[in-house]
Amino acid sequence: MAHVEAPTFGSIILAGVLLKLGGLGLIRLAPLLDLEFLKSRTIRYFIVFLIISTLVCCFQSDFKRLVAYSSVSHIITIPLMLFANNICSIKAILILIFFHGLRSPILFMLVGLLYSIFGTRQIVAMRGLVLISPIISFIIIIAFFFTLSAPPFPSFISEVFFILSTIRIRYYLIYCFLIFAFLSLVYNLN
């Protein structure tokens, strides 16, 4: 995975700028693409990849891999929302891109900072971070709150639009997306 092997600055640029340009490029190219053909060919791949990448996040012990896989699991929802092809899904994409652009660079910067402090990226070895640096702990918690799909947090709006727009794709896929939302909650609270 490019995020894990890249230096911190490379991960920040990739997550903060390049993935957003790809998402906006998909929105701009959507009128030129045959979305029904693409949906019939790739929807199963995206759903399986979405569930697996979120499940992998639940079992990560490396902090940079956790941030990278959570970034991937959120970005993979962009083509899924694009398949719905309605105004609700476009709003969800834009909100997701905006908050992902805020959260991921901050988390990758904190991963680099914590690696320079602790000499490791293992989450277990970073126990006691609250005692060493409560400010860094607070910033990490706030950055993960940007992705939490609970009512007081900003990503909740994107998740609601996401679930509403997926009903248009296939009505039975809502169960897969509810599993995705639940697993996202699990690794964020972890």
Residue-by-residue pLDDT tens, the chain, 190 positions: 666 677 778 888 887 787 778 888 888 888 888 878 888 888 888 888 988 988 998 898 888 888 888 888 888 888 888 888 888 888 888 888 888 888 888 888 888 888 888 888 888 887 777 777 888 888 888 877 776 766 777 777 877 887 788 777 777 788 888 888 788 878 877 6
Q: Which residues contact 46 (CB under 8 A, 6 or more apart)?
A: 76, 79, 80
pLDDT value at position 105?
A: 87
Q: What are the residue ranges of helices labelled H in the chain?
A: 2-5, 8-13, 19-29, 35-58, 63-75, 77-84, 87-118, 129-132, 134-145, 155-169, 174-189
Residue 110 covered by a domain: yes
* Residue 51 in domain: yes
The pTM for the full model equals 0.84
User: What tokens were used for 81?
Assistant: 């929302």
φ, ψ dihedrals at 62, nearest 5°: -90, 125
Domain of residue 120, residue span = 12-189
Predicted confidence at residue 2, as pLDDT, reads 64
The answer as to whether 119 is a domain residue is: yes
What is residue 1's predicted lDDT score, i.e. its pLDDT?
Answer: 60
Instruction: Look at residue 111 and tell me if it is in a domain.
Output: yes
Residue 3 maps to a domain: no
CA–CA dist 181, 162 (Å, integer): 10
- Cα distances (Å, whole numbers) of residue 165 to 38, 40, 74, 82, 156: 17, 17, 16, 9, 14
Q: 68 lies in a domain?
A: yes
- Asked if 109 and 86 touch (Cβ cutoff 8 Å), the reply is no
How many structural domains are present in the chain? 1
Q: What pLDDT score does 174 carry?
A: 80
Q: What is the predicted pLDDT for the residue at 155?
A: 74
